[in-house]
Amino acid sequence: MNYLGLKATMIVGLLLQAIIGIAMGTMYIQLSHHVSTFAIIYGIFLSLGEVGPGSCLHVLAAKTGSSAHVSGQVCIIAAAIGKVGAFIGVWAFPQIIDALGGSETVKGNIGLFWLGSGLATLNVVVTFFLVNPLTHDQKKANDKAFHQYLEENGFDVSCMHPVENHDA
């Protein structure tokens, strides 16, 4: 993340995950006859999910808040959305598998790889267009701008910590 940057790391991880997922969906029948190969490629597929959004989402939520005073709330909202998404996934995925023919069919198993790859690709598009590149001192700049905004609009900032004391 420090080498590529937060946005690029997320995009690269998601793109690679989508590519592996499409390959797994395309070669599912061949891979299902070689369990060890399937397990290794599936492990890579899952690991790339951790390289991209798994490692970047919480950092992104923490660093994109308008200031250090707001970022805690942004992290809480991001965590809540993740938990709601997990709940919906637990409820929806069995129904999706059944709609595709069930877990005993090739189509039912391939569909999940195509769906996962499609969602990863959608996430790449959202990240590319909606996430601003972040610098290492982005938090300090955001905090200073927020503090200045409050002062300019008549808010009493005397009870707040000075901007210089915040760690980015």
**Per-residue pLDDT of the chain in tens (168 residues, 90 and over written 9):** 878 888 999 999 999 999 999 999 999 999 999 999 999 999 999 999 898 888 888 788 777 766 666 777 878 888 898 899 999 999 999 999 999 999 899 999 999 899 999 999 999 999 999 888 777 777 777 778 888 888 899 888 877 766 664 444
* C-alpha–C-alpha distance, residues 149 and 155, integer Å: 9
Continuous H helices in 5-105: 6-26, 28-32, 35-49, 55-63, 68-99
- In order, the DSSP letters of 93-151 are HHHHHHHTT-TTSHHHHHHHHHHHHHHHHHHHHHHHHHPPP--TTHHHHHHHHHHHHHH
| Contact (Cβ atoms closer than 8 angstroms) between residue 48 and residue 9 | no
**How far apart are the C-alpha atoms of 93 and 78, rounded to whole Å?**
22
Considering the entire predicted model, what is its pTM?
0.78
Distance, C-alpha 108 to centroid of its chain: 25
